[in-house]
Amino acid sequence: MKSASSGLFCGVFLGWFRSLSFGLLLGAALAGPALAHDTWFVPKATTDRGERLFALGTGTMFPQQDVPVSLKQLQSSGCRGEGQRAAPMRWVADAPAALMLRSARPVPLAVALTCWAQLIPIDIEIDDPTVEIYLKEINALPAVRERWESLRARGIRWQESYVKHARIEVDGEGAPAAAAAAAGAAPIEGLGMDLRLETPQRPLRAGDTLRFQLLRDGKPLAGLPLELRSDLSPIGLWRTTDAEGRVELAVPLAGRWLLRGTDVRPSTQNPDRWESRFVTLAFEVLKKP
């Protein structure tokens, strides 16, 4: 079911492409500050043995990865698909802007695959001006902003422990739609944050309306803003998850897409600190046949 809001996004998105050059859009992206450093997967060519290869990196604006993920930061990872039981990913190389990982075993190109990673917690402290940029970048909830104002009024700096979660869906070449959908829709056991692609049709095509579900500790997370971004434009579209943690979004153009979100909460250990979980889901949309 395609909502009126999805249709509006298509119109706005396409209107930008008709009226502005891509160079201007790219310039706007580079000029704007971005503090929510997301981490995501980029699919690469297969290895000589047939394992699927991926780059896991961090960036301030999708699709550009700027900083590699250290192997020491990797708390857990894995891939699975039809006929492929879940198995941890394997290190391949440390590239300049990404950690190169592969599937544990060869995977036929006809097999759809879902892969994921969860990083270890990292503690940071942020100055007040940077916090404002950060909260805007993640579209922080009013409750977060109100609590931060209270802490700042007491002279307390922003102190946070964050964990990154990343997932990618790769459609197989000629893989049955049901098999591809089953691989992506099932939750990943043990992930602190997970984004599921529930859309049954495969491959994904421009114009499709996609359905996602956001999970925290395996349970639906309602009321969290998620942003859909494309590799074709810095313009993103925000939607808030419903009571079942779901959002529906139309993808008007073929290309690489990323759904991203950040859940910030008061620390369970220290009321003056914060705990956050970042999550991304990368996928590709093909042209209409």
Bridge partners (DSSP) listed for residue 53: 44, 102
Amino acid letter for position 231: D
In eight-state DSSP terms, residue 202 is S
C-alpha to C-alpha distance for 46 and 103, rounded to whole angstroms: 9
Predicted pLDDT of residue 200: 86
C-alpha to C-alpha distance for 218 and 265, rounded to whole angstroms: 17
Q: How many domains does the chain have?
A: 1
What would the pLDDT profile of 73-115 be if each residue is shown by its tens digit? 999 999 998 888 899 999 999 999 999 999 999 999 888 899 9
In eight-state DSSP terms, residue 83 is T
Distance (Å) of CA 262 to CA 67, 160, 190: 19, 13, 18
Bridge partners (DSSP) listed for residue 89: none
**Secondary structure string (H, E, C) spanning 5-63:** HHHHHHHHHHHHHHHCCHHHHHHHHHHCCCCCCEEEEEEECCCCCCCCEEEEEEECECC
Q: Which residues of 217-242 are buried (b: 16+ CB within 10 A; e: fewer)?
A: eeeebeebbbbbbbebbbbbbebebe
Predicted pLDDT of residue 33: 37
Predicted pLDDT of residue 50: 95
Predicted pLDDT of residue 176: 60
What would the pLDDT profile of 184-209 be if each residue is shown by its tens digit? 677 898 999 999 999 888 889 999 99
Bridge partners (DSSP) listed for residue 112: none
List average pLDDT for each run of 10 residues in the chain, which is 289 residues long. 44 40 32 63 95 96 94 96 90 95 94 95 96 96 97 97 97 68 75 94 92 97 98 93 97 97 96 97 94
262 lies in which domain range? 4-285
> CA neighbours within 13 Å on the CB side: how many for 148?
24
Predicted pLDDT of residue 173: 80
Omega before residue 88 within 30° of 0, cis: no
pTM above 0.85, yes or no: yes
Bridge partners (DSSP) listed for residue 230: 233, 257
